[in-house]
Amino acid sequence: MQLGVNLDHVATLRQARRGLEPDPVWAAVEAQLGGADAITLHLREDRRHVQDHDLGRIAATSQVRLNLEMAATEAMLEIALRTRPHMATLVPEGRAEITTEGGLNVVGDMGLLKQVVARLREGGITVSAFIDAEIEQVDAAAEAGFDMCELHTGPYAHAFHEAGGDLPRGTMKKQLERLAAAGRRITQLGMLFNAGHALNYVNIGPVLALANLRELHIGHSIVSRALFVGLRQAVAEMKRLLAQAPPAPWAASARA
């Protein structure tokens, strides 16, 4: 199970003073020393946290995969094709939202997304769709040509919190079943299965049991913990939790 560490909130803190620190480039180094498999940055249209120079400097220095979260706009497409991250995750972007609030509407935006995915893939960039755990959206993502889907774990995280982590209470079990069903569909259709949003050190356990899950993208909880233990340790602690995930079926057959 791989870990992509989202560093947007390091830039949020820096932008509070429009200064130099904390520098997301230093954070990317620390995250890599803690074991991050990928660094994620969301370059928002309003540039509220990550700036263009952060993306450029991290693209030039990161030794692990760079995942650029972006809206499907012409301006972002140009930046992505110039920067050439290893992967791009297309997300919906609302100006008033505090963070990404829902998944892409691939069904509704098929025409635009097909074009954007094709141009990114022609540029050698692997493309991921950030979607809600809905079968129609998974099917549409396959039709649009995405290589992988990242399922939105926000509703699950909310249900976990409401239920106090007690599976039979509230909608937690239902949310996990939605993720499991959508995850199965993603792999059946030949795409890779990633997940993320609002995951933390407490609610991650049940998610790790989802079959064929390949990569988690986590930001806020890791950066928050880093205030107390440092980023390298915060990433290493999350990596240790991920290492407890049940082995993937292909690993078992490879050992046999």
Cα(224)–Cα(73) distance, integer angstroms: 30
- CA 149 from chain centre, in angstroms, equals 10
Active site residue 69: yes
Please, which residue, 5 or 255, has the CB nearer to ligand PXP? 5
Total residues binding ligand PXP (CB under 6 A): 19
- Is 8 a binding residue for ligand PXP by CB under 6 A? The answer is yes
For residue 100, report the phi and psi dihedrals to the nearest 5 degrees: -60, 120
Q: Is 91 in the site for ligand PXP (CB under 6 A)?
A: yes
CB-nearer residue toward ligand PXP: 89 or 175: 89
Residue 207 has a CB neighbour count (10 Å cut-off) of 23
Q: At 208, list the tokens.
A: 């790790």
44 lines the binding site for ligand PXP (CB under 6 A): no
Query: What are the Cα distances from residue 216, in Å, to 3, 135, 166, 256?
Result: 5, 20, 22, 27
- Please say which residue, 198 or 207, places its beta carbon nearer to ligand PXP: 198
- Nearest residue (CB) to ligand PXP, 7 versus 255: 7
C-alpha span between 124 and 114 (Å, rounded): 16
> Residue 125 or 253: which CB sits closer to ligand PXP?
125
Per-residue interface string for the shown chain with ligand PXP, residues 147-166, x marking contact by CB under 6 A: ---x----------------
Is residue 219 at the binding interface for ligand PXP, with CB under 6 A as the rule?
yes
Binding flags for ligand PXP, 57-86, as an x/- string (CB under 6 A): ------------x-----------------
CB neighbours of 218 closer than 8 A, spacing ≥ 6? 3, 4, 5, 6, 196, 199, 200, 238
Question: Is residue 217 at the binding interface for ligand PXP, with CB under 6 A as the rule?
Answer: yes
Q: Decide: is 183 part of the binding site for ligand PXP (CB under 6 A).
A: no
32, 100, 137, 203: residue in contact with ligand PXP (rule CB under 6 A):
100
Is the CB of residue 145 less than 8 Å from the CB of residue 114? yes
Position 185 contacts ligand PXP (CB under 6 A): no
225 contacts ligand PXP (rule: CB under 6 A)? no
Structure tokens given for 165: 């982590």
Catalytic pick among 9, 49, 69, 134 = 69
Q: Is 42 an active-site residue?
A: yes
Q: How far is the CB of 84 from ligand PXP (least distance, A)?
A: 20
Cis peptide bond upstream of 22, omega within 30:
yes
Catalytic residue positions?
Answer: 42, 69, 197
- Could you list the residues that contact ligand PXP (CB under 6 A)? 6, 8, 42, 69, 89, 91, 99-100, 130, 150, 196-199, 217-221
